[in-house]
Structure 1
C-alpha cells in the first residue's frame, strides 16, 4: 500500500495575491524593457525588474559616468526643491483667508506644521533618506514607490522606498492608487523578526530560523479597498483598506489588518491618459545615452586595436609564439635571412571618425533631458540675486506640470496620512472651536513661492520709500495705507512665525488700554494743575483783604 501524503490547501488570500501579482505584472512588460535600459545606463543600483528576485541581479557597469551624474543631479534638485529638511517646505492653511489671518488660527496652524515637520526628522522617521530614493527612481524611470508603517514598540514611523521590481499597483477611474501587491523575499530569521509578535507564521518557518536556514521565501503584501467597510466598527471591517501578508511556505496567511489611509504612495512624472505607469526624464535621455555609450565603446575598441594590434604570422607550428608577444621579449624567427619581417600587425583601413564634439553633443542632449542648465548653479560666479531668482522661476515654470503631479500623488497624501497618524495618537493640539469642521490644505513652500513672497515685501518697502517725500506735502496719503495689512505682508515676506506677533484684536485692546492710561494721566495732571491754580487764587485773595479792627491797636 502506498502512503497518502496530506495535500496542503493554500489560503485564499495567498492565491489571490499571487494571481493579482501576475495580472498586474503582465500589464507593464513593455515598460520593464525600457526600465532595464535606463537602469543599466543611468541608475545601476536598480534593475532586475523581470527577475524572480530583483536583488539577485548583476550590477551593470556603464562605460561613462556622465549620464549617472546628470540623473543624480536632477534627483538631488527635486529633493532640495520639494523636501529640503533645511527649510520649512510646507505649511497648512484653510480655504478662508480671513480665518488664516486670525491669530489663534495662525498659531494653531504653525504648531501643527511644526509637529508634522518634526515627525519627518530622523529621530522619528527615515523619511528624508527614503524621499531621496523616491526622487532618484522618479527622475530615472518616471515612477516611484514608497510606503509607511507605524512601529509601536519603537515609537517610530517607518518610511520605506520600494524598488519597482518588487511592487505592482492598479489605479481607479480618477488615477489614484486603488490596489497594491508587493512581492518580496525574506529569510526565516528575518521573517520571524518581522512577524513573530504580530503574525501567524507557519511553525516550519520558526524551525528553519532556529537551524539558521538561509533560504529566501516569497512574501506578498496585498493592500486593497475594503468593500465591507463600516465606519466606527472595530477590527478590519472598520478600516477603509485591507492589508494582508501571506507567505509561499504552505501558502499561509501571515497577518490580516487594515489601514485608515492608503499606506503606499506611487508618484509618477508624466502619464498618458489611461496609463498606470509613467515616463520620466530618463526615458527621454535613453536614446542619447545609448548612442553615447556606443560611441565610447567604439572609441575604446579602436584605441585597444591601435595599442595592441592583431599579429599576422605564417604558420603557428613554425613559430614558437604561442599567440603571445610581450614587450621586451625577443621573437626568434620573426625575420628571414634577408631581413624581411615574417610577422606584421593587422592593418585596418577604416577608422573611427568620432570627434569629441559629436560625443559632447550627445552629452548635452542627456543634460538637457535632465534640465542640467537650470539645475546646476554651482560654480557660476558673478550672478546677481535677480538672475538667480529668474533661473529659479524658469525652473519652476518648466517643472510646474510635473511638480504638481508629484505633490498630488506623493507629498499631499503623505502629509495627510502623517497628520491622521499623529491626530489619532493624540500628538496634535486641539484646534480653536471656531475651526471645527474646517478643511485644511497643504501650502507648499517652494523656492519660487518664497522668492515671490519676498519680492512682495520688497515692493511694499519700496512703495513706502517712494511716497515718503510726497507725504511731506500731502500727509493724507498715509491714510490710504493699512498698518496692520502692511505688517502682515512683511510677516509673510520674511516667513516670520505667527507666535512673534499679536492678533489685531489683542493689539487694539493694548492700544485702547494705553490710550485710557494716557487719558487718566492727562486728567490727573490737569487736576493737579487745577488744584494748584485754586490754591494760588486763594492765597492772592487773602493778601488783598483789609486788616480787621483792633488788629493793630496800641
Structure 2
C-alpha cells in the first residue's frame, strides 16, 4: 500500500531479491584491512566511535582504547574542535545556513515567489530545529574528519513533532556504493532490534495495535515474545539502493527512485522481508572528506595524522616515565631493609648498622630531561592540531599579540585559512547538505505539510522545484 509517499511491502514473489540483497550487502561492507585502520584511528582520537569495530575484531573490550592505551588525550580534544567547527560553519543551529532557490533564477525576482520561498524556508528550518538533525550532523562531521566517511539515515516520523528522525551511523556498521556521478547512491547496514521493537514496528497493525501479524516475522520472534524475552536481540540487515525498475512519473513501486529492503538475518523464507519501502528522495547521506579516483571510501584527517597520533601517545608515555624517574626513581639498599615506606610520613625501622648505607637511587636523571620530553610532547600536540585544523577554528583564541585586532585583519586571516577547507566544504554541500535538504523537503511534502502549513504557491511556481543554494563558510 502507498502511504505518505512511501510504498511498503512485506513479501515479494521475486525469489532472487533476497539473494541480490545479501550479495550487495557483502560486497558493500568495508574490507578487513580498512576496518583495522579505522580501529586504530578510533583508539587514538575517537574511542567513543568504535562499538562495531570492536565486534569486527572479535574483542570483548568496551571501546577501542582497550587496543590502544591512551597516554595523552590531546588528539581527542583536537578532533572535537574540528567537528564542532564544521558544524558551526556549515550547518549551525544558531544562524541561517540554507536558503532555497529555483532552477529558473528569473522567477526569483517576483515578490510572491520570494514570499512563498521565505515561508518554505521557515517551515524547513523549524522542522530541522525540532528534530535531532544537528546532533546527527555533529556525529557525521566527526566521522568524516576522523575516518573519511560519515553516514546519516533520515526516516519520516508520524508524530506532529519531530517530523523526522535522523540516525547517525558509525564506521564498521555500514557499507556504501557510488553511482555514475561518483557520489554515494547505495547504503547497507546491520543493526539489532529487540523483540519489543520488532513487534511494535513490523508485527503490530498500524491501524490497530492490538492486532498482531505474526506471519510477517520468523517463528523465533513469536517464541521470544510468548516467553517474555522482550530484550532478546535480533540482527536486522538493511539495504538502500536505486530502484532498478524506476519509471519517472509512474505510480506505485515503479515510480519510486529509491527502494529500502529490511530483513532478519535469521529469516529462512527467502521471499519474506520485514519491509520493502520506496522513497521519492534519497533517504541517506554519506559524505566523504576526500577521495581519489576509483575509491569509494573517503580519506579523512585521522589517516593523514596517524604518524603524529602514534608519536603523540609515545611521547605522552615517555613524559610520564620521565616524571616517575625523577619523583620516584628505582632504589637499592641493604638486604636487611626489607620493606621501605616511600610515601611522605611513612616510618621505616632499620638497624644502626644499615643507617650509614640507607636507600639510594639506582639511576638518576637530570631535571632537564623532563623539560626536554615535555617540549617534544608539545611539538607532537601542535602537529596533531595542524592536522585537525585547530589553528583554523581557534584562529582568534590562539592569535599571538595584543587582543583584540581590528576587524579587517581578522577577516583577512579568516579568509586565508579557510582556503584549506574549500574542497571539503564543496563536497559536504553536494553529498550532505543538499541531499539532506531534498530529503527533508520530500518528507514535508509526503506528510502534507507543504499543503496544510504553507500559503497557496503563486502561479509562477507551478512545475518548479526549490533546492538549496551552496552553503559555504
TM-score band (shorter)? 0.7 to 0.9
Q: 1:388 to 1:206 in 2, by over 3 A?
A: farther
Q: 1:168 to 1:44 in 2, by over 3 A?
A: same
Do the aligned partners of 1:299 and 1:354 also contact (CA within 8 Å) in 2?
Answer: no
* Offset at residue 233 of structure 1 (A): 4.8
Cα RMSD (Å) of the superposition?
Answer: 3.0
Larger helix fraction of residues: 1
CA offsets, 1:464-499, max 9 Å, x none?
xxxxxxxxxxxxxxxxxxxxxxxxxxxxxxxxxxxx
> Which residue pairs with 1:141 in the alignment?
147
Q: 1:349 to 1:434 in 2, by over 3 A?
A: closer
Do the aligned partners of 1:36 and 1:49 also contact (CA within 8 Å) in 2?
Answer: no
Of 348, 366, 369, which residue of structure 2 is paired with 1:330?
348
Structure 2 distance, partners of 1:215, 1:293, is 40
Matched, 1:20 2:20: no
Structure 2 distance, partners of 1:295, 1:163, is 29
Of 339, 357, 361, which residue of structure 1 is paired with 2:379?
361
* Offset at residue 407 of structure 1 (A): 0.5
Q: 1:29-108 to 2 correspondence within 5 Å?
A: 29-52=32-55, 57-59=61-63, 60=65, 62-108=70-116
**Partner-residue secondary structure (3-state), 2:145:** helix
Structure 1: tracts of 5 or more residues without a match: 1-10, 448-554
* Offset at residue 404 of structure 1 (A): 0.5
Q: 1:50-449 to 2 correspondence within 5 Å?
A: 50-52=53-55, 57-59=61-63, 60=65, 62-122=70-130, 125-153=131-159, 156-197=163-204, 200-210=216-226, 211-212=228-229, 214-251=231-268, 253-312=273-332, 320-321=338-339, 325=341, 327=343, 328-330=346-348, 332=350, 337=353, 341=357, 344-347=360-363, 354-377=372-395, 379=397, 381-428=403-450, 429=454, 430-438=456-464, 440-444=466-470, 446-447=472-473
> Which residue pairs with 2:11 in the alignment?
none
Rg larger in 1 or in 2? Answer: 1
Structure 2 distance, partners of 1:385, 1:260, is 46
Structure 2 distance, partners of 1:21, 1:278, is 19
Structure 1 distance, partners of 2:384, 2:411, is 25
**Partner-residue secondary structure (3-state), 1:273:** coil
Q: 1:338 to 1:103 in 2, by over 3 A?
A: closer
Structure 2 distance, partners of 1:58, 1:372, is 29
Do the aligned partners of 2:83 and 2:138 also contact (CA within 8 Å) in 1?
Answer: yes
**Partner-residue secondary structure (3-state), 1:217:** strand
Do the aligned partners of 1:270 and 1:402 also contact (CA within 8 Å) in 2?
Answer: yes
Do the aligned partners of 2:326 and 2:364 also contact (CA within 8 Å) in 1?
Answer: no
RCO greater where, 1 or 2, for CA within 8 Å and sep 6 or more?
Answer: 2
Q: How many residues align?
A: 428
CA offsets, 1:232-255, max 9 Å, x none?
555433322221111123346222
Q: 1:195 to 1:306 in 2, by over 3 A?
A: farther
